[in-house]
Amino acid sequence: MNPMGLQRLGALVVLMTCLIAMIVARPGSAIAGSASATIYSFGTGGVGDGAQPKGTLTDVNGILFGRTTATFKSSKKVKLGGVIFSLDPSDNNYTVVHNFPASKHDGFNPRHDAMTLFNDVLYGSTLQGGKGGGTIFSINGDGSGYAKLEDLTSKTGDQQHSCFVVINNVLYAMTAAGGSHKGGVIYSVNPDGSHFTVLHDFKSSEGDEPHGRLTFDGTHLYGMTKASAALSLTSPLSPSRHKLKTFGVIFSIDPAGSNYDVLHYFLGGANNGATTDHGYLVLDANNVLYGMTTFGGSANEGVIFSIHTDGSAFTLLHSFVGGANDGANPYGSLLINGTDLYGTTAGGGTSNKGTVFHISTDGTGYSILHSFGGNPDGEKPIDNVIMLNDTLYGMTVFGGAYNEGTIFSIPLQ
């Protein structure tokens, strides 16, 4: 080959190399996110630091607050308890502001979802502690003034997995157990812990064991349950009844506790979802709800779906199949930003340690933004991401420098 040909070949190689680098680095491609997204590894703070977070961060005036389920007891051992912490994303300054349990009757093991910010105060719950069924607590938006507000009990609902929605200065939430039928309740409570009121007792025939948060559209509350009893159906071809297995429901109810209605039964299989763990529904400007299930879909690895608030037009937007180019088994909820949806999966991705993904509300544009790698990267994100300054922030249960979880960030620009 003559010198001119060699020069052209060299230029072509350089061009192709640049194009490949651009594709690999472009957020949204199926192979993006190979570098670690970790900005804090739990355990870095030593004894008393948090470990194994199973929740979502909350933005308080640019400072991120979160909780963990466990606490470092020594350099090599963690103990169930947990902490509340803050992190300044401008310099990644991390501070523990409360250790669970702070006293004999304090709660411990806070799980799932983000704490609820209302009037510069954060409200949250614990799965255990108090009188045995968990607690409701508050803490000021500057990290001071922690207070236990209420003990959750089996009689009126206990084992709360997620946090609150605020309607007319009142907190609304669900528990996964307790109540008249032992299947959980919907309740309301004032921000000072007074006037705890059970609004609805779940029973298996209409869906029970809700692990998520409620969603309010200005008129009705919407939610999902993890379990439900089998449907008893008759066929036009046979007078005998047969049972159809179900895996939870989508429901609506009025804030007063009236007009409970099942909008959709999760039936599993290729064309339906199965088992929502602690996820909740997000609402767009057109009164369409979006959510995820951990199982169901074409590979039984979970789905993303949409449904209208009247229960019509249930649509699968994506069936997770796992592997290097897809996630698997989402446990949390979606973040909606206009027509963009963001979420996490506990499995799938290049190392099968979980992903962060994007999809449009019409079901197009699915892509993996990050595949987790373990150490120093995180592993197994099981809750939601939040957005701050065009960056997604979230947490993983494991991975990081001490394999006890991480806080991660993924820039979208």
Residue reference for tokens 């998520």: 212
For residue 204, what is the DSSP state?
Answer: G
Could you list the pLDDT tens digit for every one of the 413 residues in the chain? Answer: 433 333 333 333 333 333 333 333 333 333 444 589 999 999 999 999 999 999 999 999 999 999 999 999 998 899 999 999 999 999 999 999 999 999 999 999 999 999 999 999 999 999 999 999 999 999 999 999 999 999 999 999 999 999 999 999 999 999 999 999 999 999 999 999 999 999 999 999 999 999 999 999 999 999 999 999 999 876 565 566 678 999 999 999 999 999 999 999 999 999 999 999 999 999 999 999 999 999 999 999 999 999 999 999 999 999 999 999 999 999 999 999 999 999 999 999 999 999 999 999 999 999 999 999 999 999 999 999 999 999 999 999 999 999 999 999 999 97
CA atoms of 411 and 89, how far apart (whole Å): 12
Is the distance from CB of 346 to CB of 336 less than 8 angstroms? no
pLDDT value for 34: 56
CA 37 to CA 372: how far, in whole Å? Answer: 8
| Residue 76, pLDDT score | 86
Domain encompassing residue 42: 3-411
The total number of structural domains in the chain stands at 1
Q: What is the pLDDT of residue 235?
A: 59
SS3 of 100, please? coil
Contact 2, 368 (CB under 8 A): no
Contact partners, residue 254, CB within 8 Å, separation at least 6: 219, 220, 221
Count the residues in the chain: 413
Angle at 248 between CA 251 and CA 301, to 5 degrees: 125
Q: What is the per-residue pLDDT for 173?
A: 98
* Cα 197 from Cα 219, distance rounded (Å): 19
> pTM (2 decimals)?
0.90
pLDDT of 75 reads 85
Domain with 259 in it: what CATH number? Answer: 2.120.10.30
Going by C-alpha positions, the residue among 176, 183, 170 that lies closest to residue 229 is 183
pLDDT of residue 14: 33
Q: How far is CA 62 from CA 85, 94, 166, 207, in A?
A: 14, 13, 21, 38
CA distances from 409 to 62, 150, 294, 323, 405 (A): 14, 34, 23, 23, 13
Can you tell me the distance from the alpha carbon of 93 to that of 90, in angstroms, rounded to the nearest whole number?
Answer: 8
DSSP string, 21-76: HHHHHSTTSTT---S--EEEETTTT-TT-EE---S--EEETTEEEEE-SEEEEETT
pLDDT number for residue 313: 98
